[in-house]
Amino acid sequence: LVVATTRPETMLGDTAVAVHPEDERYQSLIGKTVVLPLANREIPIIADEYVDREFGTGVVKITPAHDFNDYEVGKRHSLPMVNVLTLNADIRDEAEIIGTDGKPLAGYEATIPADYRGLERFVARKKIVADFEALGLLDEIKPHDLKVPYGDRGGVPIEPMLTDQWYVSVKPLADVAIKAVEDGEIQFVPKQYENLYFSWMRDIQDWCISRQLWWGHRIPAWYDAEGNVYVARNEEEVRSKYSLDSTVELKQDEDVLDTWFSSGLWTFSTLGWPEQTKELKMFHPTDVLITGFDIIFFWVARMIMFTMHFVKDENGKPQVPFKTVYVTGLIRDEQGQKMSKSKGNVLDPIDMIDGISLEDLLEKRTGNMMQPQLAEKIAKATRKEFVDGIAAHGTDALRFTLAALASNGRDINWDMKRLEGYRNFCNKLWNASRFVLTNDKLDLSEGEIEFSLADRWIQSEFNRTVETFRNSLSQYRFDLCANAIYEFTWNQFCDWYLELTKPVFANGNAAQIRAASQTLVHVLEKLLRLAHPLIPFITEEIWQKVKGFVGITADSIMLQPFPQVEENGFDLEAEAEIEWLKEVIVAVRNIRAESNIAPSKGLDLLFRNLSAENAKILEKQTALLKAMAKLDNVQVLAANETAPLAVAKLVGNAELLVPMAGFINKEAELARLTKEIEKYQNEVKRIENKLSNESFVAKAPEAVIAKEREKQAEYQSGLEKIQEQYKAIEAL
């Protein structure tokens, strides 16, 4: 029989050859024996479905002591297991023969020929091949691709071999842990990671828990001179439990428990278990475990199994260790590669927080400044920001960046520009707070108050931000939490509300100034509390200065209540009015920018086709609009009233006209209007195409079709108005 092998030296430990039970070529040989060359002993020919009859000759040598698959075949057929290698992977002087029960097997002859004893495995391999060839037993040698495990320390192939190990039968534990997730006692966020958990747990194998490491929890087992095993918590308990006197010499197992076995005990062992401590009663089970997807099986599953096995409630029901498993993504570099020291793409958070020079950066990345070629190579391969050194950004900026990038379960491709942007955000919050607290017109005295439209609006916007933040937090969407804080702080509070208060402090009465002052400091104080979980250091620092303005005497922002949504805190009227005013102000500012008109230059603003609702807003807020948009006059034109030559913008259906007499640039304005015309024409065409699509019209609800037709009419009307403006200016 011709067999193939990639490790000829293991032939000394063969105890059978196997063929497929349905292979017609070898049916007559099953149950007979062959002589193992060199060792000159008879071994059986067995039938096993493990054999691939289409591969090679369809005959496989079986070496149970040195191959994982062969080991399983050996167990199925009760084959002896012949270990021919030492722990140094040298050929043994005398084979170690073990039965399928794990005990030494007597009566089986497996002598190792003298020529091979003590040879290093690769030396033995060459000699065995040469001897086969000399005996005329070598059929052929040819290349063959296969996966070989290499040791991460020595860099040499790892040889499978028989050793005594300790195992846990985990399937009974896994069944309970699977049910806990199926029944919703434990939930994964995002939910799809339950599938990864189930795929591991439903195909779980016995777990080898002993490790040959230098540190860890020692295996609690002792051996006597005859090899008998005694298991207990310590040697004293062994002697008591097994009635062994002091004359019996005991030696503890040198192995330690698998790291994940020890880690699996974490949730309860840290709280005093097995004693029923107050900490165990108070903190177990916890609410949320935060971890990466790569250790769902190695750590999360084992904590669930162990906890539910060892910890029961007062009714004997297994306790879960935590109620929710929040799975984060992994942080990768900008090219999406996993960060590793060997690639030189690892970033130290401390460097980003405190800053690092080019020299220090290269030293960290090379490990030795005496390697200039490597330093130059890394510098060229790395982003410019790193080559120039990393500027200090602060802990808060780094925390906020990580939160903003933390989409559910997705890996994070790190971007230094995002970190720079959020450092600027922290600066924005600091400067806004300084503006509020150093305002010499701030009046927090008691007396009559008159809240302005802007005061009502910012309080409503903050309440809406609290709602968004808390809803996002409940869904573990930390990115949406960060976005809510950023949007409110930068765009609403700083860019708009602080500007809207300036006219009040400049020209308002005492009641209006008091209202603006109270709104400023109270919204700022609540904003600091809302942002504190994301940026704790800067918010604590500012809050210590703000608390006196709002009458708080507590020592720390951490001791203050987290903002709640106020059910009556939404002012829809104020939100709608401010949003319309903001659109008008932005439109006027755009006209200034496009026509190159200085911000200090007063303008006239004309409205045409103004709705009754917006006319009421304008009537109440003309002074505010004039102050914010730098307007000299505001006028509403009658339907048939002719307007002077002007630059026009549309806000909804209303036409905004800024007379351009004296400073209009005809070519620039025609170019701008051409772009506006193209934009409106594209929108009209897009909707026309949608409404002409028979499939869309047939499937879409009538309300959707009606909405599209309404939008089409609005765009068509706007297009006609802009085309009229174009003709008027073209005629100049």
Q: Per residue in 242-257, pLDDT tens?
A: 999 999 999 999 999 9
Residue 178 CA from chain centroid, whole number: 24
| Whether the predicted pLDDT of 341 surpasses 90 | no
**Separation between Cα atoms, residue 561 and residue 525, nearest integer Å:** 12
- Determine the pLDDT at residue 174: 96
Coil vs helix vs strand at 633? strand
- What crossing angle do the helices spanning 395-405 and 416-437 adopt, rounded to 10°? 120
Q: Is the per-residue pLDDT at 580 higher than 50?
A: yes
Q: What is the C-alpha separation between 707 and 705, in angstroms, rounded? A: 5
Q: How confident is the model at residue 409 (pLDDT cuts 50, 70, 90)?
A: low
661 band by pLDDT with thresholds 50, 70 and 90: low
Of residues 312, 296, 214, the one with CA closest to residue 260: 296
Please say if the pLDDT value at position 351 is more than 50: yes
Of 147 and 510, more confident: 510
Single-letter amino acid, residue 719:
L
Question: Quick one: how far is CA 369 from the chain centroid?
Answer: 34
Q: How confident is the model at residue 362 (pLDDT cuts 50, 70, 90)?
A: low
Q: What is the pLDDT of residue 376?
A: 52
**Does the pLDDT of residue 377 top 60, yes or no?**
no
Distance in angstroms (rounded) separating the CA atoms of residues 30 and 44 = 8
Mean pLDDT over all residues of the chain? 89
DSSP single-letter state for residue 488: I
- Predicted pLDDT at 370: 39
Alpha-carbon gap, residue 424 to 413, rounded angstroms: 20
**Which run of H or E residues covers position 229?**
strand 229-231
Please give the backbone phi and psi of residue 593, each rounded to the nearest 5 degrees, phi first.
-65, -45
Is pLDDT above 90 for 657?
A: no
Is pLDDT at 379 greater than 60 in this prediction? no
The mean pLDDT of 460-474, rounded to a whole number, is 96
Pairing outcome for strands 331-332 and 412-413:
parallel
Would the CA dihedral through 454, 460, 466, 467 be positive or negative? negative
- Please say if the pLDDT value at position 393 is more than 80: no
In 10 A of CB 465, how many CB atoms?
A: 22
Percentage with pLDDT > 70 across the chain:
93
**Separate counts of helices (H) and strands (E) for the chain:** 25, 22
Q: Measured between alpha carbons, how far is 633 from 650 in angstroms, rounded to an integer?
A: 19
Q: Cα separation of 203 and 197, whole Å?
A: 10
**Long-range Cβ contacts of 26-31 (<8 Å, 24+ apart):** 26/1, 26/58, 26/59, 29/1
91: enclosing H helix or E strand: strand 91-98
- Tell me, what's the pLDDT at 360? 63
Kindly tell me if the per-residue pLDDT of 14 is higher than 60.
yes
Q: Which of the given ranges, 174-183, 389-398, 407-416, has the highest pLDDT on average?
A: 174-183
Position of tokens 């308990």?
237
What is the pLDDT averaged over residues 183-197?
A: 94
Burial class (CB in 10 A: 0-12, 13-18, 19+), 258: buried
Identity of the amino acid at 728:
A
Which of helix, strand or coil describes residue 218?
Answer: strand
- Indicate the pLDDT class of residue 385, thresholds 50, 70 and 90: very low
- According to DSSP, the β-strands at 322-328 and 331-332 are unpaired
**Distance of alpha carbon 242 from alpha carbon 357, whole angstroms:** 65
What's the rounded mean pLDDT across residues 325-349?
A: 76
User: Does the structure show a pLDDT above 90 at 37?
Assistant: yes
374: pLDDT strictly greater than 90 = no
Between CA 216 and CA 220, with CA 219 as vertex, the angle to 5 degrees is 130
Confidence of residue 364 (pLDDT cuts 50, 70, 90): low
pLDDT band at 356 (very low <50, low <70, confident <90, very high): low
Environment class of residue 532 by beta-carbon count within 10 Å: exposed (0-12), middle (13-18) or buried (19+)? buried
The model's confidence at residue 594, banded by pLDDT at 50, 70 and 90, is confident
Which pLDDT value is given to residue 571?
95
Interstrand relation of 81-85 and 207-208 (parallel, antiparallel or unpaired)? unpaired
At residue 369 the predicted structure's pLDDT band, cuts being 50, 70 and 90, is: very low
Q: For the residues 538-563, what does the mean pLDDT come to?
A: 94
Burial 168-194 (b: 16+ CB within 10 A, else e): bebeebbeebbebbeeebbebbeeebb
Q: Residue 664's pLDDT is what?
A: 67
Residue 451's Cα: distance from chain center in Å?
Answer: 44
Rounded to an integer, what distance in angstroms lies between the CA atom of residue 419 and that of residue 421? 5
The pLDDT, as a whole number, for residue 366 is 53
Strands, E assignment, 664-714: none
* Owner of token pair 């997730």: 181
Which has more pLDDT, 666 or 137? 137
Q: Which residue has the tokens 């896994």?
A: 174
Q: Which residue has the tokens 């903002």?
A: 563
Instruction: Tell me the C-alpha distance between 62 and 45, whole Å.
Output: 10
CA R_g for the chain: 39
CA distances from 226 to 100, 150, 247, 248, 270 (A): 20, 35, 14, 10, 38
| Alpha helix (H) residue ranges in 155-233 | 171-182, 193-201
Instruction: Give the three-class secondary structure for 323.
Output: strand
Report the percent of the chain where pLDDT is more than 90: 65
pLDDT at residue number 348: 72
